[in-house]
Chain A
Amino acid sequence: MATIRYFGIVAEVTQRNEEYIEIENMNVSEVWNLLYAKYDLSTLNARVALNQRLVDLNSSITVNNNDELALLPPFAGG
C-alpha cells in the first residue's frame, strides 16, 4: 500500500489527511490522474511530492507500495 497525504485545502476537498491505496505498476502521473478524477482537484493548483521530494505532476517515476505521495496546495493566510 502507498500512503497518500493531503494538505491544506486539498485535505478539505478529499475530507481526509491521508489514505492508503494499492498501487500496481503506476507512475506519479497515473496516480495523480486517479486522485484528480476521484476528488475533482482541478481548481486547486496542487503540487506532488514523492517521498518528501517535489516531483513533476507528469512524472513517469514509478510509485511503489510503501512510498508516500503528498499533495501540496499553496497557502495564502497570514
Chain B
Amino acid sequence: MQLSEVGKSGQQKLTSAKVLVIGAGGLGCAILPYLASSGIGNIGIMDGDTIGESNLHRQILYSKKNLGQSKVKFAKKHLEHLNSDIKVHAFNHYLSGKNAIKIFNDYDIIVDATDNLPTRYLINDACIIANKPFVYGSVYKFEGQVAVFNYKNGPTYRCLFESNETEVPNCETSGVLGTTVGLIGMLQANETMKLILETGDMLSGKLLIYNTLNNSQSCIEFAKNDKIRVDESFFSAVHLQTEIAEISLVKALENKLVFLDVREYGELPKVDLPNTIQLPLSVIEKNISGMDKDTSYAVFCQSGKRSRQAVKLFKESEFKNVFNINGGVKSIKKNNINETSFC
C-alpha cells in the first residue's frame, strides 16, 4: 500500500489481523470485499441464513443464481476469489450464547453486521467478556448509525441503549436502499482498518449518524456508564439461561399447542389459527398470574421479536412449555402457508 500512514508495517498488521464479521447480509456484503482486498489475513464470516430474492438489491455478493444457498459459503468463495492469499472461515450458523465467547477468543476485532437487537446485545456482552473491540453499524431506512464499542475498555452499546426494551424494524421489514446499507458498511470497514492500523480517531464514545437523504452527519458523544456491569454471571443469566426454545408452525399445529398472539389488538394481518389467545406483550405481566403454567404455548407476533420477549417473561414466571414461532406472521407468509387456512 502506497499510503505513508500504512507502509510495510501497516501491511504487516493487516496480514496478521483476525476479523470476524457477524452477518453476511447488506452490511456484511459491503464490508467483506474491502477487508479481503486490503489483505486482512484471517476473516471469519458468520450467518446461518440462505440467500433470498428480497435480499439481492442490497446484498451485492449474491445473484439470482445463488438463491437458496448458504450466504457464508458463497461469500467465502467470493472473498477467496478476490484475494487468494487470505484465510476465510465460514461459520454457517447463527451466533448464540453458547458459542459466542469461544469463537470471539480467536479473533482481534468483531464487526456487527447483524439485523436484530438481541444479537447486538449478545455481541456486546460477549465482546466485554472476551475483551474485544466491536465495530457497530445499523440502518433504519435512509439513516445509519456507526460506532466502535468496547475499544480499550471504553463505552459499550449498553452505555447507549442499556437494555433491549423495544421492537425495532429491520431492513427486511422497513425497506432500505442498497446504497444506504453500502455506505454504512463502508464506514464500518473504514473503522476496522483504522483499528488494525492504529491510526486516526476511533468512533469510541461517539455515535455517528449519517442521513443519506440530506447528506447530514451528526456525531453524538456518550460516556462509559460504570453502573453497568457485564460479567460472566450476567452473561449466563441473559444469554444462556434464557435461550428461547423455537418451534415451527407445523410442529405447533401437530402438537396442538395453544397459540398466543402477542401483537397489539387490531394489528394486521389477522391470523386464524386454532386455539388462539390474543394477549399483547404490553399487558402480559399484568395477566400472567392468572394463566395455567402447565399449558403448552406457541407464541407469535409480527416478526418474532416481541414473541421472544414474551417467552422470556413466561420463563421468568416458571412456565416450562412456552415456544417461540421464529419469524412470526411474516415467516408464515414467507412459507406460502395461507394464514387463514387453519380454521
Contacts and interface: CB of A to CB of B under 8 A. Distances in A.
- Asked if A pairs with B, the answer is yes
Interface of A: 5, 7-9, 12, 17, 43-45, 47, 49, 52-54, 70, 72-78
B55 to A, nearest CB: 11
Given A75-B140, A75-B168, 11 more contacts: A47-B160, A54-B160, A54-B220, A70-B220, A75-B139, A76-B116, A76-B120, A77-B139, A78-B23, A78-B27, A78-B114
Contact of B218 (A54, A70, A73): A70
Interface stretch (B38-46, B88-96, B170-178): B170-178
| Shortest Cβ-Cβ A-B pairs, 4 listed | A77-B171, A54-B222, A75-B138, A77-B139
B223 A54 contact: yes
B218 A77 contact: no
A76 B219 CA distance: 18
A70 B145 CA distance: 14
16 contacts: A7-B143, A7-B218, A12-B141, A17-B214, A45-B161, A49-B222, A54-B160, A70-B220, A72-B209, A73-B140, A74-B161, A76-B116, A77-B139, A77-B174, A77-B176, A78-B26
Nearest to A8: B140
Contacts of A49: 220, 222
A78 B143 contact: no
A72 B208 CA distance: 11
B170 A77 contact: yes
A76 B25 CA distance: 13
A9 B171 contact: no
A52 B217 CA distance: 11
Interface residues of B, number: 41
A46 B143 CA distance: 15
A74 B28 CA distance: 19
B161 A47 contact: yes
Contact of B168 (A9, A17, A47): A9
Nearest to A54: B222
B328 interface: no
A52 B195 CA distance: 24
Pick the most buried of A5, A76, A77: most chain B CB atoms within 10 A of its CB.
Answer: A77
A9 B26 CA distance: 20
B172 to A, nearest CB: 8
A76 B223 CA distance: 22
Given A77-B171, A77-B176, A78-B139, A45 B166 contact: yes
A70 B207 CA distance: 12
Contacts of B218: 5, 7, 52, 70
Contact of A76 (B26, B115, B221): B115
Nearest to B264: A43
A72 B141 CA distance: 14
Given A45-B165, A78-B26, A53 B145 contact: no
B181 interface: yes
A73 B169 CA distance: 11
A75 B143 CA distance: 9
A76 B170 CA distance: 5
A49 B218 CA distance: 11
Contacts of A52: 218-221
B100 interface: no
A78 B115 contact: yes
B144 A75 contact: yes
B113 interface: yes
Contacts of B176: 77
Given A5-B218, A45-B161, A53-B220, A78 B117 contact: no
B133 interface: no
